[in-house]
Structure 1
């Protein structure tokens, strides 16, 4: 199956986010990359979270991404995550206990912007790179400098070239 990274519509940004744990409990990280409708990276970040589960990492990543969107004063945000449970729970406006307080603090912002969450796994190599490097290095940073291989991935997406998903 051909998979394409789709840019957001005009005036929107896309937040591709990924959170994961090396082990379950394990060293956990969150990362995100925000691109505009012209495939230009507006912002990127990675955050080391300590020892957490995969579910905690992914949900915390969603919260961090929305907090950055608020900090950057973004008003049309398309979030793509790679964890079905997170996309489903957010669509129902249900969040787990460990993010409930932060989620509540975001509600005023979220009520005034346009935003959506969708599921997208296969074409998210930049997010995966940032996550893995964060777990290995155990560092947090914003505006991460991407290596040439990841710059090539950005170019690949900008040229609307497909990636492929093979299922047997």
Structure 2
């Protein structure tokens, strides 16, 4: 495991879940400090979406929350490799969310930012938060 304490990054793990594609969808994420302490979380019900779009919404929502918290050093972990690629090849972003994505790329360009692909086992908390959105069908943090 990488030592986040060295670089003073805030760790954000995100996940999106859809029941079918298209189907009812939610996204969730958890924020940890550089000492692995809990900072915050979110879950959002997204109504009916395509599965790949839901993963992007989760990442966008995490960046929105980080911006609201004033975080300037982010390390985002997600289980969808296309999101990681979208930060280098911007055409990988689905057209339906490209405008919203570009808004947060402006913020991303002003902070220290890292993104990495992690396996499903590494985002168990984010997965649980996302699934809570199915139960409550509202946004919370």
| TM-score (normalised: structure 1) | 0.76
- 1:7 CA displacement: 5.6
Q: Which runs of 4+ in 1 moved over 3 A?
A: none
| 1:59 Cα deviation from its structure 2 partner | 0.7
Q: Who is 1:125 aligned against?
A: 124
Partner residue, 2:12: 15
Task: Name stretches of at least 5 consecutive residues in structure 1 with no aligned partner.
Answer: 143-168
Answer yes or no: is the 8 Å Cα contact 1:31–1:130 preserved in 2: yes
Following the alignment from structure 1 to structure 2, what is the Cα–Cα distance between the partners of residues 7 and 99?
A: 33
Alignment-derived partner of residue 164 in structure 1: none
Larger Rg: 1
User: Which of 94, 97, 114 pairs up with 1:116?
Assistant: 114
What corresponds to 1:91 in structure 2? 88
Q: Is the 8 A contact 1:91 1:117 kept in 2?
A: no
Structure 1 counterpart SS, 2:90: coil
Structure 2: state its 5+ residue gaps: none
Query: Over aligned residues, Cα RMSD in angstroms?
Result: 1.5
Higher helix share: 2
